[in-house]
Amino acid sequence: MHCRIRVKGHLDPCWQQSLEELHIMQEANSTSVLSGYLKDQAALYGMLLKIRSLNLSLLALETSEEPYEGTASPYI
């Protein structure tokens, strides 16, 4: 499944290792979007647990079976 997770703040690129399945994109409004392909809902729940353990503020979550336009993912 393709997903987009918006969190509060700009994430430093060094966080990419912790979020290896998703790509970090910084937005102008002091938010970051994590986007890419996750295998299934279990992988999504695991990613949400990582976000929680990193004390990130979750702003939005979108999932789709189809890729989002502009999503940086090797599976598109």
Structure confidence at residue 72 (pLDDT): 47
Residue 15 DSSP label = G
Q: What string of pLDDT tens digits covers the 76 residues of the chain?
A: 999 999 999 988 888 887 877 999 999 899 999 999 999 999 999 999 999 988 999 999 999 886 555 544 433 3
pLDDT for residue 65: 82
**Second CATH level (architecture) for the domain 2-64:** 2-Layer Sandwich (3.30)
Domains in the chain: boundaries: 2-64
Within a 10 A sphere around the Cβ of 63, how many other Cβ atoms? 13
Question: Whole-model pTM?
Answer: 0.79
Sign of CA dihedral 65, 42, 8, 74: negative
At 26, give phi and psi (nearest 5°). -85, 140
Report the sign of the C-alpha dihedral through residues 28, 36, 7, 55, in that order: negative
